[in-house]
């Protein structure tokens, strides 16, 4: 998909060659993510801003790299443009003789979608 630009609460889906309601697009993405899954994944939003402008970018919270890989595969097969994102941090607990424990939080980003507000599904 090229340039997932959201205009007036619709998004252009090049595979369908049509403008689709962004809420329906996100619902479709979540149904693909949760298809035949024992785990119920959640849609979350990252808040970004530049100057006085702020926007919300949707992502799917997952627990592990394996889950991220599975969700990404389902989304790509369903023509949803997505990528895996990993946030790394340490636990801040340096114990004598060893480094802090690194923590990795995985998510699957829905690429280039910027919304004026969060959409509840």
- Per-residue pLDDT of 59-112, as tens digits, reads 999 989 999 999 999 999 988 999 999 988 776 666 666 677 778 899 999 998
pLDDT band at 5 (very low <50, low <70, confident <90, very high): confident
Please determine, for residue 1, whether its predicted confidence score (pLDDT) is greater than 80: no
Is residue 12 a part of any domain in this protein?
A: no
Residue 46 bridge partners (DSSP): 57
Query: How do residues 19-40 score in pLDDT, each as one tens digit?
Result: 889 999 999 999 999 998 888 9
On the 0-12 / 13-18 / 19+ scale of CB atoms within 10 A, 55 is middle
Is residue 9 a part of any domain in this protein?
A: no
Is residue 14 a part of any domain in this protein?
A: no
Model-wide pTM > 0.85: no
Count structural domains, the chain: 1
CATH of residue 91: 3.30.70
């Amino acid at each position: 998909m090229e340039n997932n630009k959201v205009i007036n609460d619709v998004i252009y889906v090049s595979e369908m060659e049509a403008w689709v309601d962004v809420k329906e697009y996100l619902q479709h993405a979540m149904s693909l993510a949760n298809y035949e899954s024992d785990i119920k994944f959640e849609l979350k939003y990252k808040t970004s801003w530049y100057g006085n402008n702020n926007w919300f970018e949707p992502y799917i919270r997952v627990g592990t790299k394996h889950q991220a890989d599975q969700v990404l595969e389902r989304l790509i097969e369903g023509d949803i443009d997505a990528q895996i994102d990993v946030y790394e941090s340490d636990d801040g607990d340096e114990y004598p003789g060893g480094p802090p424990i690194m923590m990795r939080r995985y998510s699957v980003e829905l690429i280039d979608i910027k919304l004026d507000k969060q959409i509840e599904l």
